[in-house]
A and B are shown apart, each in its own frame.
Chain A
Amino acid sequence: DAGVIQSPRHEVTEMGQEVTLRCKPISGHDYLFWYRQTMMRGLELLIYFNNNVPIDDSGMPEDRFSAKMPNASFSTLKIQPSEPRDSAVYFCASSRQNTEAFFGQGTRLTVV
């Protein structure tokens, strides 16, 4: 398996634009996690899914953020409209229940 695949690796966008981050989890994994990493706050859990269903989105900072998982092999995290304070590295991770999570390489988002 190729591991968790995220795209794009880097994204630079202007304030107010819509940004969509994409994730393909490892085949057979039933959990998918979205994290945001910054120097100040470390890795913050934004939302996670079990069997494509959102379980806990309490970490989503505000209504500008939304996430979907239309099927077992694809998830998106959307920010609309984007703001400079959204600049961070966004990670997607997947796991089987009760086992370790595997991370993608991340998307470095810069909002100018």
Chain B
Amino acid sequence: EDQVTQSPEALRLQEGESSSLNCSYTVSGLRGLFWYRQDPGKGPEFLFTLYSAGEEKEKERLKATLTKKESFLHITAPKPEDSATYLCAVQVYNTDKLIFGTGTRLQVFP
């Protein structure tokens, strides 16, 4: 069964304290892995797409990496405005299903 697991469920950081979020997946075939950010009361907002192991993408304080079994979202020197829920999703090859993990709720304190 295709499955996506994110850890930790919640993460509290001090402003400037770098950390990483994990997304591990088990799928029959991976077409792509996506990271989203979701703020309270809003729909998920697209951040990155990764297609193959070894690929990396960066945007401001965020960097996403991909291996054959997991992806990491690295947050460098976070700011309070980075507080949100970060969601990982995989698109399954041959079906194009887009399956989400349950997310990591990040809080960054000044």
Binding site for B on A (CB under 8 A): 4, 31, 33, 35, 41-43, 45, 48, 50, 55-56, 91, 93, 95, 97-106
User: What is the CA–CA distance of A11 and B66 in the complex, to the nearest angstrom?
Assistant: 39
Do A42 and B46 contact each other (CB < 8 Å), given the known contacts A56-B95, A98-B32? Answer: no
B87 at the interface (CB under 8 A from A): yes
Q: Mark B33-60 against chain A: 1 for CB-CB distance below 8 A, else 0.
A: 0101000001111100100000000000
- Interface residues of B, count at CB 8 A: 22
Judge if B102 is at the interface, Cβ distance under 8 Å: yes
B79 within 8 A of A: no
A-B pair count, CB < 8 Å, reads: 55
Could you tell me the distance between the alpha carbons of A97 and B91 in the complex, rounded to whole angstroms? 10
Residues in B with CB closer than 8 Å to A35 are 100
- Considering only residues 60-110 of chain B, those with a C-beta below 8 Å from chain A are 87, 89, 91, 95-103
Shortest C-beta distance, B71 to chain A (Å), equals 14
Tell me how far the C-beta of B64 lies from the nearest C-beta in chain A, rounded to whole angstroms. Answer: 13
In the complex, the chain A residue whose C-beta lies closest to that of B42 is A105
Residues of A within 8 A of B87 (CB): 43
